[in-house]
Each structure stands twice: as structure tokens, then as C-alpha cells.
Structure 1
Amino acid sequence: MALSYGAAEDLLPIGWKTQITEWFNEDTPSFDYGGFVVGSSANTATLFCKSPGILAGVPFFDEVFAQAGCTVEWHVKEGTYIDPSKQGGKVAAATVKGPVRKLLLGERVALNTLARCSGIATKSHEMNVLVRKAGYTGILAGTRKTTPGFRLVEKYGMIVGGVDGHRHDLSSMIMLKDNHIWAKGSITEAVKAAKSVGGFSLKVEVEVDSESAADEAIEAGADVVMLDNFDGEGLRAVARTLKTKWAGKRQVLLECSGGLTTSNVESYINNDIDIISTSSIHQGVPHVDFSLKIDH
């Protein structure tokens, strides 16, 4: 696990548990017919991991079963890479105890959340390992292209996987993209307006598609400039020029984004770029396969 100062669950806000209540309301909006069939006798169930990946999403899994009146005992620590192929095809990751009806009531909600979060953590870790092996020393980050209502889980998975979650929402940082610039009329005016309300505590990032636009953004006072959709060669040339041109004049971070994946990211890597951001670590990633089986 990449975190060194505490458990990732300590990041979670006070109100996060209400999201899980809403998941239950969605999954069982009226009667629990299957629960009627099995009844409420006490039993245990084993959580098996059946495909390789990093375990992530433990607090969400725990809270699903806590709200269902069950308890969870983990046998694997969050952030651990599990390889079932080396252990007979499946690994017993946790034991869940409670009424049979409640075990099955929480089963699918808990598994879906854990599988998705672990998949994101795994992909994030893989990308991080790849760029480090290629010599990159800057920040690898996700994006805000997350699933509505599920962002907290997806950002959590990125962090457990060892990458930067980037801005969590529109209030976390002021990012001015092409539509903002067009609507305001110029980069300079857009940055000026952003700084008038963001104050000293919010960074302003500007998305650009040319060196001249980057210069305007830096001159206007942008804290971060995103070089968007450049090819690898063009990115290296512009980043080097900007770093040289503005050295000792303005402090600015350079970010690159736009279509970066594990198959092409190495061609973009250069250490004049401070941040590489990509949605490929959390959009459309394979889930880690988990199952929950009643012990019998």
C-alpha cells in the first residue's frame, strides 16, 4: 500500500456512510423475497478473491455488512496484492458473520463495490510501476472522469493504488478548459476572473493546446498548465521550452493529459512534465473477481 502515514479509510468524510444506505435502497426497494426463503439463522460466509489484484475498498465492504447487521474479519490487509494462481485458484480474504438473510442482502452491493475499487487500485498500481520503470519522477494522477454517485470509491481506489487522485470535484481546484476560455473570451480574462474568487488557497489550472497559449496562461498567473493532446515529441519540445523560458520568473507546474494509456504512456514520459494525468486507470478497467460463499 502506498500510504505511509495512516489508513486510507481515515480520509473518508463524516457523511460517506449515507451513500451505502442509498445503495441498499436501490438494491432492495421493497420486500426481500430471497431473504424470506433463507431466514435469519446465524451463519458465516467466506469472501474469496479469484483473480489477481490489489485489495481496495475495505471500509465500504465493512460498512455494507455493518448496516446489514453483520461483522467482517479480514485475513488480508488492504493494499495487498493477491495472486490466487499461486494459492490454488482462490484466496480466502475475509470471513463475514451474521444472519443468513443479511449476509445475502449485503452480498452483491459489497462485492460490486470491492471488485470495482480493487480493479482501479490494481490498474493505478500497474501504471505507476510502468512510468517509474521508464524513469518518470513526477506525479501520476487520475482525473474527474468518474461515475456519478461512485466518485468517492473510485478516488479511494486510485489512492490505495498509489497514484494521485487529482482534484476531487469542481470545488477542489479551478480548472479552466477550452469551453471556459471560449466563453470568457481569453485565457487572461478567464484566469483573472478565477483568481478574483478563488483567493490564495485555490490553484488555477489552464488547459492549452499550443505553446503560445501556455505562455499566456503562465503570464496571467496560472499555477498549473495542462498541455492537452500533444504527441510525445511535441510534448517534450514544448515542455523543455516552457521550463527554460520561465525559469526564475514564474513558478508553474506542467501537466500532460489526453489519451494516455499503459500502451503509449512511455512515449510521453519526460521529467519536464510535473504531472501525468490519465482516466485509463479508472475508466473501463477490469474488476478484480470476488465471490462470497455461505459456509456449509
Structure 2
Amino acid sequence: MLLNGYNEVLIESIKGWLQEDVGSGDVTTSTTIPEGHESKAIIHAKQGGIIAGLSIAELVFHIVDPTLQFRAEVQDGDRVEKGTVLCVVEGSTHMLLTGERLALNLLQRLSGIATRTRSFVDEIAGLPVRLVDTRKTTPGHRQLEKYAVRVGGGHNHRFGLYDAVMIKDNHIKGSGGITQAVTRARAGIPHTMKIEVETENLAQVNEALEAGADIIMLDNMSTENMREAAQCIREVAPHVKIEASGNVSLTTIRGIAETGVDIISVGRLTYSFESLDISLDLNEKKGG
């Protein structure tokens, strides 16, 4: 399946989301459509974009009714035009309509994230820099949304608070400074874990370098200061990775990439996107 190691969590999440929507039953479908009625559903794009989440939509329909037949007509990562048929689902009309909204909600959101990510990736094409997401994700949907970023051509930053050290402004304040924060973190983590430090000016960059940070984030700096900071880091510690963050847009990202940073993190990939317009239409197959 799509998310190795997360399948059971994903399945339980989908069951919970279905329960939220369906509750004790779909009263409209049950009172208007005869039992045994079957249909063929066509899911199609109503606008162009990058598709992500087809296997998730398939999983939704499978959980609703394992007898539903799902056939994808495109693949995740494909760029489609308005009117493109994405997949076909056949079987019980009752079950198709029960799973319709959740399947579409997930497919629309993930395709929107993938489409937005691709637009940023296209802006930095040809430059040796990596676009990454952040932890600014919808609660309960992080694994899916980060998957959509990858489909769009981006990469993932840390998944949570548990898999990397990122020393930000409040950690610096609470520990008494960058040096103290890095020293304490280094003493408390395994040797395989990296330490990233968020910096806001050149003085902090120099302190992070002296403290032995593995990754230095240049947060909300001007492109001129980013360029100067990147040159300084390259001269002193060429092994240290440089990340740019803060107020990155489609109009500014290429200029930021040209300063010499290795990574650009963009929170709006997963919190400020427009869901792709995708619809499901039924074609009657046979009456019940």
C-alpha cells in the first residue's frame, strides 16, 4: 500500500472519518435508492493539476465495501487537464454514495497539495536546492499531506518532534542561548541524530557554527543576508547544510534558491493551498 508502516493507522483513521460522516446511516440514499441498485461511478477532474491520493480513495471505497471495483485511469503524480477521468468505481450504489464524500475530500486535498508543491518545484528547476515541507499540517493528516508533497516533487522535513532536533527562538530563550541549547541537545541525543538551529541574523549564524550545528536555518532574512550567511558557512564549515525559511512565495523562491542555500522550507505547501476540483458522477448500471 501507499504508506509503508502506517497502513493500520491509516485504516483506523479512515474508519473514524467514515463514522463521522455516515453516523447511523445515509438517510438520503437509503430512502431514495432501492436496495440492490448498482452503478458505475466516474471520478473526473474539473480543473487541471497534479493528482495525488488515488490509492487512498481506493482504500476508502474498499473499507466501505470490499466488493466495489476500483480502476485507476491515471497515476499519482500525473498532470491532468480539466475533464480527465481519474478512476472508475463500480458496484452497489448505496456503498458508492456512502464513500463518495470522504474519497473526494481526501483526493481533492492531496491533489491540491501536490499541485501547489509542483508549482514551487517548477520555479527552482535546474538549481541544486531541495524544497521541503514543514509541520504545519492538518492534525491527523500529516502522513497523507507529506505524501502529497512528495508526489508534487517536494521532500519532507522532519515528521514530528521526535525525529530531529530543531532549536528555534523559544528554545534559545529557554536555554539561555544557542551554545547552551546545542550543547545540551548534543549530550542528550543519539550520535545519528542531526541538530538544526534557527537563526535570524549573522551573529546567530556564527554562534551556531561555533556550537557545532549540523544544519543552520536562515529564518526571515533578506536575500542579501542569506547570501552573505551562506558564503560564511561554506567557508567555515562546508559540511553544514543551509536551510532558508520564512515568507517564501512563488515570486521569491528562485531568488532565495540562488543565494546558495541547500534547502528551502515552505509551510504554505500544506496550510495554504486550494483543493483541486474533482467530482463523482453516477451512470446507472442496473436496477435493484
TM-score normalized by structure 2?
Answer: 0.92
CA contact (8 A) 1:233 1:268 kept: no
What runs of 5+ residues in structure 2 fail to find an aligned partner?
A: none
In the alignment, the residues of structure 1 paired with residue 21 and residue 254 of structure 2 have an alpha-carbon distance, to the nearest angstrom, of: 42
Is 2:251 aligned against 1:257?
Answer: no
The DSSP-based 3-state class of the residue aligned with 2:276 is coil
In the alignment, the residues of structure 1 paired with residue 170 and residue 100 of structure 2 have an alpha-carbon distance, to the nearest angstrom, of: 43
In the alignment, the residues of structure 2 paired with residue 290 and residue 123 of structure 1 have an alpha-carbon distance, to the nearest angstrom, of: 16
Is 2:52 aligned against 1:56?
Answer: yes
The DSSP-based 3-state class of the residue aligned with 2:270 is coil
In structure 2, the residue matched to 1:74 is: 72
CA contact (8 A) 1:35 1:102 kept: no
In structure 2, the residue matched to 1:292 is: 280
How far apart are residue 289 of structure 1 and its match? 1.0
Question: CA-atom RMSD, angstroms?
Answer: 1.6
Aligned length: 279
Note the 1:108-187 alignment, pairs <5 A.
Answer: 108-132=101-125, 135-187=126-178
How far apart are residue 275 of structure 1 and its match? 0.5
From 84, 93, 99, the equivalent of 1:91 is 84
Per-residue deviation, residues 44-103 of structure 1 (Å, max 9, x unmatched): 11111110011101221111100111231011122110012xxxxx12111111211110
How far apart are residue 293 of structure 1 and its match? 0.8
In the alignment, the residues of structure 1 paired with residue 151 and residue 5 of structure 2 have an alpha-carbon distance, to the nearest angstrom, of: 13
The DSSP-based 3-state class of the residue aligned with 1:295 is strand
In the alignment, the residues of structure 2 paired with residue 78 and residue 277 of structure 1 have an alpha-carbon distance, to the nearest angstrom, of: 23
CA contact (8 A) 1:136 1:271 kept: no
Percent of aligned pairs with the same amino acid: 33
The DSSP-based 3-state class of the residue aligned with 2:131 is strand
In structure 1, the residue matched to 2:225 is: 234
The DSSP-based 3-state class of the residue aligned with 1:227 is strand
CA contact (8 A) 2:226 2:259 kept: no
The code of the aligned residue for 1:115 comes to Q
The DSSP-based 3-state class of the residue aligned with 2:269 is coil
From 89, 97, 109, the equivalent of 1:104 is 97
In the alignment, the residues of structure 1 paired with residue 62 and residue 235 of structure 2 have an alpha-carbon distance, to the nearest angstrom, of: 55
In the alignment, the residues of structure 1 paired with residue 173 and residue 151 of structure 2 have an alpha-carbon distance, to the nearest angstrom, of: 37
The code of the aligned residue for 2:101 comes to R
The code of the aligned residue for 1:61 comes to A
CA contact (8 A) 2:202 2:225 kept: no
Per-residue deviation, residues 206-229 of structure 1 (Å, max 9, x unmatched): 101111212222222211110100
CA 1:35/1:201 → structure 2, altered by over 3 Å: closer, same or farther?
farther
In structure 2, the residue matched to 1:272 is: 260
TM-score normalized by structure 1?
Answer: 0.90
In the alignment, the residues of structure 1 paired with residue 4 and residue 211 of structure 2 have an alpha-carbon distance, to the nearest angstrom, of: 34
CA contact (8 A) 1:124 1:281 kept: yes
Q: Which moved more, 1:139-148 or 1:32-41?
A: 32-41
CA contact (8 A) 1:120 1:158 kept: yes
What runs of 5+ residues in structure 1 fail to find an aligned partner?
A: 1-6, 85-89
In the alignment, the residues of structure 2 paired with residue 246 and residue 219 of structure 1 have an alpha-carbon distance, to the nearest angstrom, of: 10
From 203, 206, 223, the equivalent of 2:214 is 223
